[in-house]
Chains A and B, each alone.
Chain A
Amino acid sequence: MTPPLLDIDVSHATGGFSLDISLNISGQSAISGITALFGRSGSGKTSLINLMAGLARPDRGRIALGSRVLFDSERGIDLPPEQRRMGYVFQETRLFPHLDVRGNLGYGMKRRGRNGQLASFDHVVGLLDLEYLLNRHPDSLSGGEKQRVAIGRALLSNPELLLLDEPLASLDATHKNEILPFLERLRDDPGIPIIYVSHSMEEIVRLADVMVLISEGRVLANGNVEDLLSRLDLRPLTGRFEAGSVIAATLIGHEKKFGLSRLSFAGGELLAPMVDLPLGTPLRVRIRARDVTLATRKPTAVAAQNIYRGTIVQMETDTSSRTEALLDIGVPLWARLSAKSAQELKLAVGTRAYAMIKSVAIDGHSLGRQRVIGGASSE
């Protein structure tokens, strides 16, 4: 039995806000992948990783990374940040203005990189495409470039865990899309576990395997991204705008003529826009509830390519006359329709219905590439 990646049980109060966290992150998906800390702004996500990194001190409790105890108020243990081996990528990058990119990258490497080096300088420079920036100064870099340097700097300090604090939050959409592939490479590459703080479900679905939901300084849920996103009770937290289902699928074929790819999942096959990846690649597909429509009879001659039969297992109508129905089609699938349509179709829990998903509704952002790790994706 391997020890958990992180074992945290702390209380911390500052200026009217109290953090009371009990969290155990374990399992192969977390150890070799990305664990997302999700919550609204002000929920305590950044405070929590500051406690982990030793930049703030909990009032009481215990923090352990693997088998190493970093903080224990009862035993009087409080390792300073420089001994915790946590690579921290700050939201505002915090690059050293008096050093060039090479100097920034080398800062942590010089101090900690020598023993048991995981990632070499050249490897990290290649991974994050930093070669052409090495002699530049931080002030002359774009937001995305700064963020890549900050990630490289943290990686080269030879950390046991990488903490990313909303690395995309300060970037515009174009730069976000520029960084995301690097984050995916990072996840798939050196085998350093990553804690990824974010309030964007889109990023989490694309990057993370495991998710921790935080609200008002408490952990509300902790588990697989797919599982947590299909839970109705967490819906107020995961957000109505973000409402949707996340399905684990495998790439099984391409229809080049139409620019489509065929994916296989527990409910059958799904046609999605062309994904340029090898066959057999495990993927995670996010389907927004508003892109799924329902019918009580098998539809014919409709434009939607993906039609599935299932049973309604949950239904709720909100104040703005929208109904959301959870359909079991082999996997849970959320559909959103107007309350009026729901009534006319006489939809209720137990009703058998057909769900239709337009292929074009699944765009590149909805497809996350899952890490290929034994059995973890189907947990």
Chain B
Amino acid sequence: MGKARLTVFGLSSMEMEAIQLSLRVALWGVAWSLPLAVSVAWLLARGRFPGKILLDGLVHLPLVLPPVAVGYVLLVMFGRHGAIGAWLFEEFHIEIAFTWRGAAIAAAIMAFPLMVRAIRLSLETVDRKLESAARTLGAGPADVFLSITLPLIVPGIITGVILAFARSLGEFGATITFVSNIPGQTRTLPLAIYTLIQAPGGEETAMRLVLISVAVALVALALSELLARRAAARLEA
């Protein structure tokens, strides 16, 4: 996606910035949370341990909490003086609050329950007899997970990733609370639309960004459908 090509559509640099930032935030958010989501989904689908209900509730919390509340909790934890934020800054000089990284974290957390849910559902449909067959053929538990379970849940992972990606693109409340609305840093598409609507004479541009949002979402959904179909076809061929 070259800059030159996008400018052909007559997009201002501010608009392009918002689009690129949104994509970056959503992609990183999804990429970083995916391994964790697979692990948590596995624990919830297969694990038997005390506190499982608690973990289940915790994972689903962002789905039911007001996004502003999530954003505030993140600010308290990851702010310069927050427990995690201070440590990250001291040890690695990484700033989270008020940066695009923070936006990615906010997006990832808000999208996490959707991703876990899709992967967990798919894990629960995996025929465990196939896994025991793999054990008798010489594969250890980790090997079985990588060579049998994981390939079988690929359609579920794709669904989860796309849901999370779409949710991340639309993330607003937690983002604006946690990382504010800084042009080029944290002003994603929804925040840009919000800003434009607030300013006089911005409605036209806002509408254009809304249409762009629709286009990005449609492309993402179509892509996911295509990938999921191909994965399913590979499993059933």
Residues of A bordering B, CB below 8 Å: 53-55, 80-82, 84, 86-88, 90, 92, 94, 96-98, 107-108, 111-112, 137, 139-140, 153-154, 157
Contact = CB atoms under 8 A, between A and B. Distances in A.
Contact of A107 (B129, B134, B140): B134
Given A94-B130, A97-B152, A111-B143, A81 B136 contact: yes
Nearest to B151: A98
A81 B127 CA distance: 18
Given A88-B136, A153-B137, 10 more contacts: A54-B135, A80-B140, A82-B136, A82-B140, A94-B130, A98-B148, A98-B152, A111-B143, A139-B236, A154-B136
A80 B135 CA distance: 8
B235 A82 contact: no
B236 to A, nearest CB: 6
Nearest to A107: B137
B51 interface: no
A97 B152 CA distance: 8
A137 B139 CA distance: 21
A148 to B, nearest CB: 16
A108 B138 contact: yes
B3 interface: no
A111 B127 CA distance: 21
A170 to B, nearest CB: 14
A162 to B, nearest CB: 11
A112 B139 CA distance: 9
Contacts of A107: 134, 137, 139, 147
B234 interface: yes
A152 B136 CA distance: 14
Interface in B114-156: 127, 129-130, 132-140, 143, 147-148, 151-152
Given A94-B129, A98-B235, A139-B236, A87 B152 contact: no
B148 A55 contact: no
Contacts of B127: 94
Contacts of B147: 107
A97 B136 contact: no
A137 B237 contact: yes
Interface string B138-179: 111001000110011000000000000000000000000000
A82 B139 contact: yes
Contacts of B236: 97, 137, 139
Nearest to B137: A108
Closest 4 CB pairs of A and B: A108-B137, A111-B138, A112-B138, A81-B135
Given A97-B236, A98-B234, A55 B138 contact: no
Interface size bucket, B side? 20 to 34
10 contacts: A55-B135, A81-B132, A82-B135, A94-B129, A96-B133, A96-B134, A96-B148, A98-B151, A111-B137, A157-B137
Contact of A94 (B133, B138, B143, B234): B133
| Interface residues of B, dominant DSSP | helix
A53 B133 CA distance: 10
Nearest to B132: A55
Contacts of B151: 98
A157 B138 contact: yes
A158 to B, nearest CB: 8
Nearest to B150: A98
A42 B139 CA distance: 30
Given A97-B152, A97-B236, A98-B235, A154 B137 contact: yes
B136 A53 contact: yes
Contacts of B135: 54-55, 80-82
A138 to B, nearest CB: 9
Contact of A90 (B133, B139, B234): B133
A325 to B, nearest CB: 47
A88 B139 CA distance: 13
A108 to B, nearest CB: 3
Contacts of A154: 136-137
Contacts of A157: 136-138
Given A139-B237, A140-B237, A96 B130 contact: yes
B158 to A, nearest CB: 14
B185 to A, nearest CB: 43
A54, A94, A108, A137 — which one has the most chain B CB atoms within 10 A of its CB?
A94
Contacts of B134: 96, 107
Contacts of A111: 137-139, 143
A199 B78 CA distance: 66
B74 to A, nearest CB: 38
Nearest to A86: B136
A96 B146 CA distance: 13
Contacts of A97: 130, 152, 235-236
A112 B133 CA distance: 14
A87 B138 CA distance: 9
A88 B234 CA distance: 26
A92 B129 contact: yes
B228 to A, nearest CB: 14
A139 B232 CA distance: 13
A107 B134 CA distance: 8
Among B127, B129, B151, B237, chain A packs the most CB atoms within 10 A around the CB of: B237
A206 to B, nearest CB: 26
